[in-house]
Amino acid sequence: MAKKFLTNLDLAKNQILNVALQNLASAPASPVAGQIYFNTTDVRIYFWDGTAWVDVSGDLRSVIGGSGLTATYTPDGDEVTLDVNVDNATIEINADTLRVKDLGITTAKLADSSVTTVKINANAVTLGKIQQIAGLRVLGNLSGSTADVAEVTVITDLASASSTTLATSASVKTYIDANIGALGNLEGGWSAASGEFPVGSSPVSGTKAGDYWYVSTAGTTGGVAFNVGDVIIAKINNASTSSAADWIQLEVNRDQATETVLGLVEIATQTETDTGTNDTAAVTPLKLAGRTATESRTGIAELATQAETNTGTDDARIVTPLKLKTNLATYKYAANVSVTTAGAYTVTHNLGTTDVIVKVADSNGDTILCDVTATSASVVTLGFSGTPISGTYRVIVSSL
């Protein structure tokens, strides 16, 4: 049975002796880039380039320049250069660029109907080269497609607007002023003690549907009592100054408070606070402090001391990250081991158990493989065979 390594192996420049590639009669399934194998059917070596299996057995003997190409070999034959044959009259090579010379483009070719696109340099077309366009028109394409550019009419009145015309900025401003000015807006504060509903004045004189005020002074108007902070909104244009039917009143309810209505609330009892099902009574700080946390209920809990954390028998207090970290430190031991020759190196951890996990890493933090033996409940022994790389290794022993 083969051993599986789920990490890369760094042999520190040591050789792999007497190694053979994996022998298979057909390509392995689900390969990864760089994977290689020896095919015993066709006796070839292949590697996976990320897309296909590539034969790397090395049968290539020479490269021959085909039509328009010249192949040149180095004296030892290790390198081949392919050059493009050009006449330097119609085609030339400049540095790494292959380009057509003037003699390669004739007037006959430019006149050919197959040439459908001609490039014009920037700013090469002047207004003098364009025919005069009819008044109040510009060139453009408003169809939203790839249609050709055509004349577009400019209008000064949005009443005749369409999807094929452009409006002037003056016409847009006139239209907006006329329509936005008719919308309702915030008029300011209103004293409900005045006994009359207000009349709008901004931006135009008179009340418009949607104009609204906030109550700055409490009072009663139209048979409705208003408090400071309430809001009234006109339902119609020229809303009545005496009839509440023409107005919408907001936040005038002072009954039982809800999540959306300002009002009165009842103080919750300790039982109601602990139960946590009453959605109409308010919880005071004292009642909240009395709601202790359990495994089945959220609430207030006391923090455990370091001694209680280490003992591990208290089931009513909460352990903080610092206390937990301090406690976990008692289950781990770390030390440096200086390795100079092959042999055994002892590490005394004093964790009181042979059920330990040992990790050995080099100065770069990379994990290394060596023999590990739990010699006793207090000691582990590291074994290095052959000729190990001299250096300081970090040993971490954990009993968790």
Give the per-residue pLDDT at 1.
Answer: 37
What is the rounded (10 degree) CA torsion for 179, 184, 187, 189? -170
Rounded Cα distance between 232 and 253, Å, is 13
pTM: 0.33
Secondary structure E strands in 222-365: 224-226, 231-234, 247-250, 266-267, 281-282, 332-339, 343-348, 357-361
172, 165 Cβ separation under 8 angstroms: no
142 alpha carbon, distance to own chain's centre: 37
User: How is residue 364 annotated by DSSP?
Assistant: T
Note down pLDDT in tens along the chain; length 400 residues.
Answer: 354 455 567 787 888 888 899 999 999 999 999 999 999 999 999 999 999 999 888 666 567 777 878 888 777 666 778 788 888 888 888 878 888 887 877 766 666 666 566 555 555 555 554 554 555 567 777 776 666 777 778 888 887 777 778 888 888 888 877 776 667 788 999 999 999 999 998 877 889 888 999 999 989 999 998 888 889 999 999 999 999 999 999 875 566 777 766 677 888 999 988 888 888 888 898 898 888 888 888 888 889 999 999 888 998 899 999 999 988 888 899 999 999 888 899 999 999 999 999 999 888 888 888 889 999 999 999 988 766 778 899 999 998 8
User: Phi/psi at 334 (nearest 5 deg)?
Assistant: -135, 140
Determine the pLDDT at residue 108: 67
**Can you give the pLDDT at residue 29?**
92
Name residue 367's beta-bridge partners.
361
In 3D space, the residue among 351, 347, 342 whose CA is nearest the CA of residue 359 turns out to be 347
Encoded amino acid at 194, one letter = S
The C-alpha atoms of residue 128 and residue 133 are separated, in whole angstroms, by 12
Query: Rounded to whole angstroms, how far apart are CA atoms 325 and 218?
Result: 60
Location of structure tokens 């809800």: 258
